[in-house]
Amino acid sequence: MFDFIQYNFVMRGLEVGLIIGCIAPLIGIFLVLRRYALIADTLAHVSLAGIALGLLLQINPIIGGIGLSALSSVAVERLRLSKRIYADSALSIFLSGSLALAVVLLSVAHGFSANIFNYLFGSIVTVQSSDVYYILILGAIVILTIFAFFKELVYITFDEEAAQVAGIKTRRINMILILLSALTVSLAIPIIGTLLIAALIVIPVVAALQLKKSFLGTIVYAEIISLASVVLGIISSFYLNVPAGGAIVLLTILFFVVILLGRKRN
Q: Could you please report the per-residue DSSP string of 185-247? A: HHHHHHHH-TTTHHHHHHHHHHHHHTT---HHHHHHHHHHHHHHHHHHHHHHHHHHT--HHHH
Inform me whether the pLDDT recorded for 211 exceeds 60. yes
Split at pLDDT 50, 70, 90, the class of 47 is: confident
What pLDDT, on a 0 to 100 scale, did the predictor assign at position 4? 62
**Three-state helix/strand/coil letters over 134-155:** HHHHHHHHHHHHHHHCHHHHHH
**Chain centroid to CA 14:** 16
What pLDDT, on a 0 to 100 scale, did the predictor assign at position 5? 67
Cβ count near 158 (within 10 Å) = 11
Within 8 A by CB and 6+ apart from 182, the residues are: 43, 46, 47, 66, 69, 70, 72, 73
What pLDDT, on a 0 to 100 scale, did the predictor assign at position 189? 78
Q: Where are the domains of the chain?
A: 3-265
What is the per-residue pLDDT across 88-136, written as a single tens digit (0 to 9) for each? 777 788 888 888 888 787 777 665 555 666 777 777 777 777 778 878 8
pTM (2 decimals)?
A: 0.86
Pick the CATH number of 3-265 from 1.10.287.130, 1.10.3470.10, 3.20.20.80, 3.40.50.300: 1.10.3470.10
Cα angle 133, 137, 140; round to 5? 135
